[in-house]
Amino acid sequence: MSQTVTRALRLLAELGEGERSLDQLAQALGVHKTTVLRLLQSLEEGRFVHRDANHRYHLGAGLFALSSLALEQRGIRRTAAPHLAELNAATGQTVHLAAYEGGEAVYIDKYDSRQPVRMYSRIGLRASLHCTAVAKVLLADLPPAERRKVAAAIEYTPHTANTIAGPRQLLAELEQVAAQGWAQDHAEHEPFINCVAAPVRDVSGRVVAAASVSVPDVVLPYEQVLELLPQLLATARAISADAGAPV
């Protein structure tokens, strides 16, 4: 494990919070500013950070370029994009695309709601495995053994009164999700937000992503969110079809 790289990443994380001066960064890492300076110089060379006229450091364009390049390369994201945009336009609601990788569910695309109320979610962020609709969809396709292993390892942090509290309950729900072909999050993560999610499959027939619609209570009550299901399922099927999934 490389101390230097770890420190460089901590620098980036710190800059993710906002602009920083050299001294601030040195203090945050607890190292001498000379050290920070040299790390920053390398990061700057790679355009990962950038310093403005006032010697404040910011995250740089190289980071954005790399990130968007990598996201674009994800086949499923590209094939999903037009369909998700359409769903977003048709419903006006927040639409997410998430994938399961390395034991976590990660948002890989997001289309914001037209409503002024925005959701706290972001591309790259992890979706809780036990209380989000996308995670349920993704987990439901794992082989049973793996599913049990994951369910056992989850820390069942309760977020609301509806949050699933343990592996038994989760596994039962996953069973149902697998059977019905979609999942919901009925105020399990955020008190006043409901979501529905549907699986996206690729050529292999495996679930490679989950598409979801999230709606705050104030915009649509729970029952009306369920009414979005047909549109969502159609979208997910269209993406799957484009990805070459077997019917």
Partner DNA sequence: TGCAAAGTTGCGTTATTCGCAACAAGCGTT
Partner DNA sequence: AACGCTTGTTGCGAATAACGCAACTTTGCA
Helix 3-16 to helix 22-29 angle (10° resolution) is 120
Confirm if 80 and 200 have CB atoms less than 8 A apart: yes
Question: What is the x/- site pattern for DNA, positions 8-47, by CB under 7 A?
Answer: -------------xxx-------xxxxx-xxx--------
* 63 binds a copy of itself, rule: CB under 8 A: yes
- Whole-angstrom Cα distance, residue 223 to residue 128? 23
Q: Among DNA, a copy of itself, none, what does residue 152 contact (CB within 5–8 Å per kind)?
A: none
Among 23, 27, 34, 68, binds a copy of itself (CB under 8 A): 68
Interacting positions 119-178 with a copy of itself (CB under 8 A): 122-126
Cβ distance 94 to 113 under 8 Å?
yes
CA distance 90 to 130: 29
Q: Report the SS3 class of residue 212.
A: strand
3-class secondary structure, 119? coil
Question: Which of the stretches 12-20, 133-141, 161-169, 208-216 binds a copy of itself when contact is defined by CB under 8 A?
Answer: 12-20
- From CA 103, how far away is CA 152, in angstroms rounded? 12
Give min distance, CB of 22 to DNA, in A. Answer: 3
Segment near a copy of itself (CB under 8 A), from 49-57, 156-164, 174-182, 214-222? 49-57
CA torsion 147-148-154-157 (nearest 10°) is 100
- Only one of the segments 34-42, 147-155, 169-177, 201-209 lies at the binding site for a copy of itself (rule: CB under 8 A); that segment is 34-42
Alpha-helix residue ranges (DSSP H) falling in 54-93: 61-73, 75-91
73 binds DNA (CB under 7 A): no
Which of 30, 32, 54, 69 binds a copy of itself (CB under 8 A)? It is 69
Looking at residues 77 to 106 of the shown chain, list those that interact with a copy of itself (rule: CB under 8 A). 81, 89, 101-102, 104, 106
Q: How far apart are CA 91 and CA 39, in angstroms?
A: 46
Nearest approach, Cβ of residue 43 and a copy of itself (Å): 6
Q: Is 2 in the site for DNA (CB under 7 A)?
A: yes
3-state SS class at 190:
coil
Binding site for DNA (CB under 7 A): 1-5, 7, 21-23, 31-35, 37-39, 54-55
